[in-house]
Amino acid sequence: KHMLVIFGFSACKYTCPTELGMASQLLSKLGDHADKLQVVFITVDPKNDTVARLKEYHKSFDARI
């Protein structure tokens, strides 16, 4: 299994949503092979990125992230 790690934060307005959107598209394009890729988002702003905030932020992206 391969892993794609994305570092970012929920208040990021441009780069992070673009990266997460691209990861979502990648998972979609992989179809049945998507289970061979694990995508992980790691916050660089743990003070502000609470679990609740990250859950809300990630609703816009593929649930497998």
Binding-site residue positions: 12, 16
Using CA atoms, how far residue 35 sits from 13, 31, 45, 47, in Å, is 29, 9, 28, 31
Binding-site residue positions for Cu cation: 12, 16
Residue 38 is encoded by which pair of tokens? 């694990």
